[in-house]
Structure 1
Amino acid sequence: AHRLAFVVHLAFFLLLGSALARYVQRHGDQPQEPAVLALAGALAALYVIGRRTAAGAPLPPPTPPADTAPAHEATAPAPQGLPPLPALLRLGALVAVWAVLVALAPSFAWCAVPLFYTALRTLPTRAAYTLVALFTVFVVVAQLRLADRLDVDLVVGPPAVAVLATAVFTHMDRQAARQAALIRDLVRTRRELAATERREGTLAERQRLAMEIHDTLAQSLSSQRMLLQAAERVWETDPERARAHVGTAAGIAESSLAEARRFVHDLAPADLAG
């Protein structure tokens, strides 16, 4: 899309420059020459201002094509609203200056081809096609004014160029929309994959902790319980043995406490672990 825009902008200034050079060479002595030069400069300035403003403003997200849209969205295309008022005013001024310029100097008519792209990028589809049709009629009339006789090529050529240019621009925009949709799908898929990996990592960590708790703390608590029960059974008959069982249970409890602290330390965030 950026390459196409660059080519279109370059073509506009090449066409404008060639038309201006042709006019100065052939009609430089006419009284409307200052007006033509001023209008050509105004047309170039309006085009540059419009391009800079469009480059600085965020573009609306393209509507995904029907073959890439979800099934529940494919049957009802999203409505395309009007562009912002400043964009409409810039386009209107651009078209008005071009029309007056072509009325004074028909050689500027072919500057309409890059303006097709501007109209298609600014207006809703139907309005853009209507404006392109008006452009084409204006170009045909301007070319017939330059000719000394009726030429079929002058009548058929501009509509053919308009149809071809519009088809190319529309196709490129649809390709850009498809690429944008694919990029959005890729980003969404990567986010979902990252979330799935985080969930799987959390589950794996929980399973690891459960196994460690079972292998260490649960078994140590079970051992303490057995030792204390054994000490209780021989407390009256063999106090020394009972105290030994209690001491062993206390040692196991101490090691279990250290193991529990290690678990807590491993689970704590790095900035809190210290």
Structure 2
Amino acid sequence: MAHSTLTPVFVGLRTGLHVLFSVLTVLVVVRVLVDRGPSMWIALTLTVVFAAVYVAGGRVARAGPRWRTVASASWIGALTVVWIALLVLVPEAAYLVFPLFFLYLHVLPGVVGPAAVVVATGVAIVALGVHGGFTVGGVVGPLVGAGVALLIGLGYRALAREAVEREEIVARLIATQGELAATQHEQGVLAERSRLAREIHDTVAQGLSSIQMLLHAAELADGERPGIEHIRLARATAAEGLADTRRFIRELSPPSLDQGLAAALRRLAESSTRDGLAVRVSVPDAIDLPMTAQSALLRIAQGAVANVVQHAGATIVRIVLTTDEHEARLTVADDGSGFDPVTVQSGAGRTDSFGLRAMRERVAQFGGTLDVDTALGRGTTLVAVLEVGR
């Protein structure tokens, strides 16, 4: 089990179990040596075998997932058989049922563990009664031990489930943190690239364009003046510089948006359309939005369509983008199976809750909102609104 705040508790319980087993095994050995009955060597041999089988449980715990259940059941069965054989010869072996209680509850699944505890309790009571007569202590002792073992065992199971759930929550938080960090880094890079593209366009590109026009005007004004070839060379050089500058501006734009957001959304629709699923896009051809907003809208659309393809079983998806001076509204609607928002919010459903969370984070960076209208059996409509006041 991975380390957690509950690991010391589990280590303490397991150490206590090993100590209890060792003490009771030594008690049985001492009792056999003191009595020195005719079956002493058989009893000692069975005790050694019992201890060896118990120690072999460490190898069972390291078995692969495919064989672990069978190996665990075989191990606990062998341990029980040796214990019963030892119980026939040594009545004090009945005390070994107490560590067996915890092993039954830990190893055997579901109600099988408690049922095994009940059966082992009956076997211990009968054995004590056969060897020394039925007494109140011989009946109450195993019953009390079984009750305590059941309480501790059930508590251990609850702690184990809590530890697993806690580890899953921590893993989700780490994954979300990494995804958010990557998103923020991506947004920062896009913002810087967009800023550089604007600066180059508004300064260097405009300057080169003006120089080229002025040189062209000078060339037209007097095509026969001395040094005209230098003016022509300067104009050609300015034209080449302007072409290079515009190429740099294009390269600073995200590759997926090199032809604009509308073209990127249409490519997304084409790549997602397949047998049984049609993706329709309605977007304006000219979209005047900051590059960071365009990138966020594209990523939201990609995540929404990916969820539809993976989980919804839809036949049609509609992507609609509208913009005005203050906001951009992206709608992704499908006619699929829908989902339970409460289940997805808890992370228990199949739908990608991390994807929805990432979409909300992207929208929140622009002071917008993300609304998901859905229910089981009636499709899903996702509306992302980004504040993009220009």
- TM class by shorter chain equals 0.7 to 0.9
1:105 equivalent in structure 2: 90
1:172 lines up with 2:156 in the alignment: yes
Instruction: Kindly provide the amino acid, as one letter, of the partner of residue 166 in structure 1.
Output: L
1:154 lines up with 2:132 in the alignment: no
CA distance 1:245–1:3, shift in 2 (3 Å): farther
Higher RCO structure, 1 or 2 (CA under 8 Å, sep 6+):
1
Instruction: Kindly provide the amino acid, as one letter, of the partner of residue 107 in structure 1.
Output: E
Instruction: Kindly provide the amino acid, as one letter, of the partner of residue 57 in structure 1.
Output: A
TM-score normalized by the length of structure 2 = 0.55
The number of residue pairs the alignment matches comes to 241
CA drift of 1:33 comes to 1.1
CA distance 1:249–1:196, shift in 2 (3 Å): farther
2:33 equivalent in structure 1: 24
- Whether the aligned pair in 1 keeps the contact of 2:60 and 2:68 (CA below 8 Å) is no
The 5-angstrom pairing of residues 189-268 of structure 1 reads 189-238=173-222, 247=234, 250=237, 254=241, 257=244
Structure 2: how far apart are the matches of 1:58 and 1:119? 20
Gaps of 5+ in 1: 61-81, 268-274
List structure 1 segments (4+ residues) > 3 angstroms apart after TM superposition.
Answer: 145-148, 238-246, 248-261
Instruction: Kindly provide the amino acid, as one letter, of the partner of residue 16 in structure 1.
Output: T
Q: Whose helix fraction is larger, Structure 1's or Structure 2's?
A: 1
CA drift of 1:158 comes to 1.2
CA distance 1:231–1:83, shift in 2 (3 Å): closer
**Root mean square deviation of aligned Cα:** 3.3
Tell which structure's C-alpha radius of gyration is larger. 1
Structure 2: how far apart are the matches of 1:216 and 1:13? 79
The 3-state SS of whatever aligns with 1:31 is coil
CA distance 1:256–1:208, shift in 2 (3 Å): farther
- Whether the aligned pair in 2 keeps the contact of 1:16 and 1:40 (CA below 8 Å) is yes
1:89 lines up with 2:98 in the alignment: no
CA distance 1:196–1:245, shift in 2 (3 Å): farther
- Whether the aligned pair in 1 keeps the contact of 2:60 and 2:75 (CA below 8 Å) is no
Q: Identify the range of structure 1 (5-14 vs 221-230) with the bigger mean alpha-carbon deviation.
A: 221-230
TM-score normalized by the length of structure 1 = 0.76
CA distance 1:231–1:163, shift in 2 (3 Å): same
Gaps of 5+ in 2: 1-9, 255-390
1:35 equivalent in structure 2: 42
1:11 lines up with 2:8 in the alignment: no
Structure 1: how far apart are the matches of 2:246 and 2:213? 23
Residue by residue, what CA displacement relative to the aligned partner does 1:191-233 show, whole Å, maximum 9, x if unpaired? 1211111111111101101111111245322222222223333
Q: 1:57 aligns with which of 63, 74, 94?
A: 63
Instruction: Kindly provide the amino acid, as one letter, of the partner of residue 131 in structure 1.
Output: A
Instruction: Kindly provide the amino acid, as one letter, of the partner of residue 20 in structure 1.
Output: V
CA drift of 1:142 comes to 2.5
Structure 1: how far apart are the matches of 2:151 and 2:68? 21
1:71 equivalent in structure 2: none
Instruction: Kindly provide the amino acid, as one letter, of the partner of residue 98 in structure 2.
Output: V
Instruction: Kindly provide the amino acid, as one letter, of the partner of residue 118 in structure 2.
Output: A
Residue by residue, what CA displacement relative to the aligned partner does 1:56-106 show, whole Å, maximum 9, x if unpaired? 23579xxxxxxxxxxxxxxxxxxxxx9633322222111011011111111
